[in-house]
Amino acid sequence: MSIRVDINTSSFALVADELNNTVQQATNVFETFLAERHGLHLLEECEQALRQIGGTLRLIEVRGAALLADEMRSLCQAIVGNTDALPDAQLNALSTAFFVLPRYLEFVQSQGADIPLLALGHANDLRAAHQQLLLPDSYFNRDDGWLFSRDANLRLRNEPLEGDALQDIYKRTRHMYQRGLLGLLKGGQEELQLMMMTRALQRLCRHIPPGPSQRFWLLANGVVEAFSREGLKVTTQRRRVLASLEGQLRAAVLGRFNINEVLEKELIFLLSLSSYKEGFTGRIQHAAKIRSADLDDADLSRLQQQMLGLSYDTVSSVLGELRIELRHAKDILELLAQHGRSDAEEIQPLSSLLQQCADVLLVLNLTGLAATLNEHVAILNKAIGSDLEQHRDDLENLAENLLFIESGLAQIDRRKLNYDELASLSFDQRDAVNTDNIVSEAKSLVVDEAKSVVALAKRALAAYIESGFDIMQITNLPSNFDAVRGAFELIGTTRLAAVLASSRDFMNAYLKRTEDGDEGDARAMEILADAMISIEYYLSELERRFIANDDILLVAEDSLQQLGFPVQRDATGQAYGAA
């Protein structure tokens, strides 16, 4: 399947100069409109220029750029037609598109090829800005009419259920899948949410009788696993695909399930794009004979970054390195204050390090913080050869600012502050940022320790099953659960503590039954593993914001209920941690 479409470079070269001039003129007119915020005739000029740009691009068959230009023109028309007010969201979307279009054209020219999928996401942003339906990832793909569920003969051997038993599985699957989907839509930790959704579909596929429905859900399972393994990037449109699967589950629960052929074609296309080819995803792609695209999703992400510049992950990495340098600067400052020497050999390493940090802050567009460090660099350089006691206030001020900048960058990295908020903080608010950062780091230690214990428990359960039920693999789980439970009772997360207490009680009972001669129960271990994933997801939410939706633990509570160890509750019905 071809994602990359070679262009006629000669045809492109003939129109490139005129095309670039027209794009620049349209951009200039739009910037004038943004500055003045009146004169809709300027937007009408943009619309006419974009119509010309789109027509030229269709003529030379650069479909991705043509789509982007067409959607920009449609949004211009929508804004012109809105006589009530100028919608900022639409203007922002259009402004971003004027940034993207010339870069995409430059990219196409340098590559000698059009990759329409790179433009599709930006086109959807424009469509979303004026409430138009989003285009699927398969928009540019030629449909051959083939459907895996209808035209294949694959039959998976499993433990099929019928009637009420199957309906019960659909209900439980929808509940678990829906929890993961809601977390995903709220912007939480993607990996754990997608893992929860994957396990839900795996559970379903074990019990659906062979046939078209089974093949559809096998395909869906493969795609969701690809997301969970980072073989597919989660985008706004793809979130809607995942939400459509929840709609299919809801229809199945109500007894009205019919395979959505449009959705299935999108799933087939996404599977062909996946950069993850292992596990169940790889097996279902092979069984369904779905050919991989010439560019996978990882290739597309790399090309997107190459086209547009730095990603958030890159900025996060830079912030991490910068915080390390700032901590190093604090260490040097402390030694300088202790020694009291002001010769160049003592001061210049600190001033040089601060200058480097200021330069990085400038690149990150944190100009106010960069200016603060530059001021301190100038003060330090003037202090060379003088009595440092006369500069004691300056050194203390530098120490306070270094602490604040480091704390502020940490909060940005946690997405608890943005650049504008950091730059506008008063000194009183700076103290609050410093304090909040210290508390956040302390809580992080607790959550990290708990995550390690849960990860250890998951590995122990897997090792127990793989070893043929070697009891030594899980002997320590009750004490591990109890230690984590106590930590969370201390920080007031009683519902999680109650879940862990029930997990501990189940494992104690299970170990006793095994000692009394009962055989190992792989099914029970899988259900407990579901509870561990729910807990891990909850911990990730705590790690991210230190406030998590307790409903995330419903999956864990449901799993423990199935195991016969319901979570203990107080008189008001609230879960609490048992001693």
Secondary structure (DSSP) of 125-161: HHHHHTTPPPPPGGGGSPP----HHHH----------
In the block, tokens 């230190």 appear at 546
In the block, tokens 């390690």 appear at 452
43-98: per-residue pLDDT in tens? 899 999 999 999 999 999 999 999 999 999 999 999 888 766 777 888 889 989 99
pTM (two decimals): 0.65
For the record, the structure tokens of 515 come out as 């000692």
3-class state of residue 565 by DSSP: coil
CB atoms within 10 A of CB 362: 15
For the record, the structure tokens of 470 come out as 């070697």
pLDDT of residue 547: 62
pLDDT of residue 186: 82
* Residue 314: pLDDT over 70: no
* Nearest residue to 159 (alpha-carbon basis) of 522, 554, 555: 522
pLDDT of residue 309: 60
Highest mean pLDDT among 257-266, 386-395, 436-445: 257-266
Using left for φ > 0, alpha for ψ between -120 and 50, and beta otherwise, residue 86 falls in beta
* Residue 453: pLDDT over 50: yes
Give the DSSP letter of residue 355: H
* Residue 572: pLDDT over 80: no
- As a whole-number percent, the residues of the chain with pLDDT over 70 amount to 91
The residues, any chain, with a CB within 8 Å of residue 4's CB and separated by 6 or more, are 111, 113, 114, 115, 294, 295
Distance CA 540, CA 529 (A): 16
For the record, the structure tokens of 467 come out as 């070893």
Domains of the chain, earliest start first: 5-134 (1.20.120.160), 158-306 (1.20.120), 310-425 (1.20.120), 438-562 (1.20.120)
Q: How much is the mean pLDDT over the chain?
A: 86
pLDDT of residue 474: 93
Distance CA 368, CA 408 (A): 13
pLDDT of residue 476: 93
Where does the pLDDT of residue 577 fall: very low under 50, low under 70, confident under 90, or very high at 90 and above?
A: very low
Give the lowest-confidence range in 128-132, 270-274, 305-309, 451-455. Answer: 305-309
3-class state of residue 233 by DSSP: coil
CB atoms within 10 A of CB 196: 26
Helix (H) or strand (E) holding 6: strand 5-6
Distance CA 315, CA 301 (A): 16
Q: What are phi and psi of 567, to 5 degrees?
A: -70, 130
Residue 331 to residues 324, 341, 404, 409, 410, Cα–Cα distance (Å): 11, 15, 15, 18, 18
pLDDT of residue 542: 75
Distance CA 423, CA 406 (A): 13
Distance CA 395, CA 285 (A): 63
Where does the pLDDT of residue 571 fall: very low under 50, low under 70, confident under 90, or very high at 90 and above?
A: very low
pLDDT of residue 414: 63
Amino acid at 361: L
pLDDT of residue 272: 95
380-434: per-residue pLDDT in tens? 998 888 888 888 888 888 988 888 888 888 777 665 665 556 666 555 666 777 7
More confident residue, 202 or 488: 202
Q: Cβ(218)–Cβ(156) under 8 Å?
A: yes
Measure the CA dihedral 192/194/199/201, to 10°.
Answer: 170
CA angle, 189 then 194 then 200, to 5° = 135
* Residue 356: pLDDT over 50: yes
